[in-house]
Amino acid sequence: MIDLHSGVPRHRQLADVLRARIVAGDHPPGTLLPSETRLSQEYEVGRGTVRRAVGILRAEGLVDVASGRGTRVRSRAPELEELIGEPDQLVTARMPTPEERARWQMPEGVPVLVVRQPDGLMDVYPADEYGVRIPRG
């Protein structure tokens, strides 16, 4: 599975393998991945390498990691609450600041939608729960 001489870092290789297994349904949403120690034995890499690989999946929003409990495959695509856009607003996105993440208790790997009014005021919404609908004329 992991090629030590491919030039590709092992933690990226492992992240690719785990991601593939997740999207292939091998690890269904809601289930736990094997523990870090188990994975390090299974793929014959150090635990630190496993943690970096899992960290990648976490940053991508694929899994949720909790101390003492394990690494759980995140359930995909919950219903988005629709915000109705208003003319001349500009919608973009970025990663939240630590304060914003704390305020809305956002999981890792989830961006925020930034809706900027013509007058410069901005509203911010977690992108895993909100979407902006373009209104009909």
Partner DNA sequence: TATAATTTGTGCGTATGTATA
Partner DNA sequence: TTATACATACGCACAAATTAT
Q: Which is nearer to its own copies, 41 or 97 (CB)?
A: 97
Q: Which is nearer to its own copies, 20 or 41 (CB)?
A: 20
Instruction: For strands 90-94 and 130-133, give the pairing.
Output: unpaired
Cα 119 from Cα 41, distance rounded (Å): 57
Q: Which is nearer to DNA, 41 or 117 (CB)?
A: 41
Beta bridge partners of residue 72, listed in sequence order: 32, 64
CA 46 → CA 39, 40, 107, distances in Å? 9, 6, 26
Q: Which stretch binds its own copies (CB under 8 A): 1-9, 25-33, 39-47, 79-87?
A: 79-87
Draw the binding track, 116-135, toward its own copies (x: CB under 8 A; -: no contact).
x----------xx-xxxxxx
Give min distance, CB of 42 to DNA, in A: 12
Q: Is residue 68 close enough to count as binding its own copies by CB under 8 A?
A: no
Instruction: For strands 90-94 and 81-84, give the pairing.
Output: unpaired
